[in-house]
């Protein structure tokens, strides 16, 4: 069992445009209800890249600099604070237990939490927003440790699910699962996924598991289109070989002339939204996940919404309970779907700047930092 004080490395993020600095820090102790996690793997999510560039301003969420980025992680319990004995499903915890947890932390007592909207907690705290130059230091996933605050939700990782597959559960997978639940995607419906990065590939897999009659993936990277097919897409459309009008016609032809029942946007650029809305049929539901950069806009004709009874649902974070279902999904489908290909590229913490360069030019679907 690990004992205080706890010494480890962090990849300190001082400001956008500057390289990460590896620093060794010492945490004197952990408080009651807290859990010290030894990080075993943290993926590089698109929002991390945006924060690295400064286009996703963590300060706008109450964040401070310097900080530690990284949130899509898996780890093992290193030490338990007083009063902690089990995970959120009641399974016993001990040092060495593998766990995942939402990277945001709810108060569980505010109006929104009590109304079942915990991802809109009025007192929400989050990884990547704390200061890296004062205790607890370990405030993000690109480090040897991460400190879970008292009252945090966490789940034990099934023994059959390895770290490389489990790491994507607490962000990308849970996010798209929650999005499809929010629009109540039904058996036999047509689903279009804009973007075949990690979120898009998870969206393809989840939509098929929910009984979609047909899933159509749209992207411009050949390797990602191939992966979309491997994850269950019934058809793929290459944006580099088609126009927006071509894509609308293709989607109509693949959906019996009706258009999609559900479109999921995980491209992360406003230009995708206007096109995506045109791909929807009557009573279609648009799931907007990807656009997190404030201030970017697009134009659209609202009459298309009115006359076609369309709906747009913005999805930020997810209800923490979704993470438990995400782990069950991975355990059930991991031998049928190539989850291991999503974060196949591994980099040490010391090589984090190289890893971010690879993530930026999309050499990897999901690069991972393995301390």
For 150-207, give the DSSP string. TT---EEPPTTS-HHHHTTIIIIIHHHHHHHHHTT--TT-EEEEE--SHHHHHHHHHH
Structural domains of the chain, count = 2
Q: Do 193 and 88 have their domain in common?
A: no
Q: Which of 296, 314, 332 is the last residue of a domain?
A: 314
In the chain, what percentage of residues exceed pLDDT 70?
96
Element (H, E) at 8: strand 6-13
Are the C-beta atoms of residues 1 and 95 closer than 8 Å to each other?
A: yes
| Phi then psi dihedrals of residue 125, to 5 deg | -120, 160
pTM for this one?
A: 0.93
Report the CATH number at residue 69: 3.90.180.10
Q: Do 91 and 224 have their domain in common?
A: no
- pLDDT value at residue 225: 96
Q: Do 196 and 118 have their domain in common?
A: no
5-15 pLDDT tens trace: 999 999 999 99
- Is the pLDDT reported for residue 61 higher than 90? no
Instruction: Give residue 27's pLDDT band: very low, low, confident or very high (50, 70, 90).
Output: very high
Burial class (CB in 10 A: 0-12, 13-18, 19+), 240: exposed
Q: Do 42 and 120 have their domain in common?
A: yes
- pLDDT value at residue 46: 82
d(CA 138, CA 155): 20
286-345 pLDDT tens trace: 999 988 777 788 888 888 889 999 999 999 999 999 999 999 999 999 999 999 888 778
Q: Do 83 and 199 have their domain in common?
A: no
> In this structure, is residue 10 part of a structural domain?
yes
Q: Do 257 and 359 have their domain in common?
A: no
Looking up tokens 């909207």, which residue turns up?
117
Long-range pairs for 244-250: beta carbons < 8 A, 24 or more residues apart: 244/275, 244/278, 247/218, 247/275, 247/279, 248/275, 248/278, 248/279, 250/216
Q: Do 17 and 136 have their domain in common?
A: yes
Rounding to the nearest 10 degrees, give the CA dihedral for residues 214, 256, 272, 306. Answer: -120
d(CA 277, CA 37): 42
Residue 187 structure tokens: 């058996």
Its domain, for residue 201, covers 172-314
Are the C-beta atoms of residues 247 and 216 closer than 8 Å to each other?
A: no
> In this structure, is residue 94 part of a structural domain?
yes
Residue 295 structure tokens: 């201030």
């Amino acid at each position: 069992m690990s004992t205080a004080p706890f010494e480890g490395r962090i990849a300190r993020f001082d400001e956008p445009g500057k390289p990460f600095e590896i620093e060794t820090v010492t945490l004197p102790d952990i408080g009651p209800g807290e859990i010290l996690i030894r990080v075993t793997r943290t993926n590089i999510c698109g929002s991390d890249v945006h924060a690295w560039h400064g286009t996703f301003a963590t300060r706008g969420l109450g964040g401070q600099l310097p900080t530690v980025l990284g949130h899509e992680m898996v780890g093992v319990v290193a030490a338990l604070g007083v009063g902690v004995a089990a995970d959120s499903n009641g399974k016993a915890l001990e040092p060495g237990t593998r766990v995942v947890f939402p990277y945001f932390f709810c108060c569980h007592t505010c109006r929104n939490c009590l109304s079942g909207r915990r991802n809109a907690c009025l007192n929400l705290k989050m990884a990547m927003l704390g200061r890296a130059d004062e205790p607890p230091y370990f405030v993000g996933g690109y480090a040897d440790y991460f400190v879970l605050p008292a009252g945090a939700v966490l789940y034990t990782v099934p023994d059959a699910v390895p770290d490389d597959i489990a790491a994507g559960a607490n962000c990308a997978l849970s996010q798209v699962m929650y999005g499809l639940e929010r629009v109540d995607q039904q058996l036999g419906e047509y689903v279009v996924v804009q973007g075949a990065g990690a979120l898009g590939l998870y969206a393809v897999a989840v939509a098929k598991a929910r009984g979609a009659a047909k899933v159509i993936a749209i992207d411009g990277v050949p390797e990602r289109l191939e992966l979309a097919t491997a994850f269950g897409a019934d058809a793929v459309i290459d944006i580099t070989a088609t126009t927006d009008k071509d894509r609308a016609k293709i989607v109509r032809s693949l959906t019996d002339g009706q258009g999609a029942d559900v479109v999921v946007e995980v491209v992360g650029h406003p230009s995708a939204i206007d096109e995506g809305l045109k791909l929807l049929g009557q009573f279609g539901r648009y799931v907007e996940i990807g656009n997190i950069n404030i201030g970017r806009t697009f134009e659209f004709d609202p009459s298309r919404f009115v006359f076609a009874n369309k709906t747009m649902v913005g999805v930020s974070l997810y209800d923490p309970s979704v993470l438990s279902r995400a782990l069950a999904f991975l355990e059930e489908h991991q031998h049928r779907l190539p989850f291991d290909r999503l974060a196949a590229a591994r980099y040490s913490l010391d090589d984090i700047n190289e890893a971010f360069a690879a993530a930026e030019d999309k050499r990897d679907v999901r690069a991972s930092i393995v301390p």
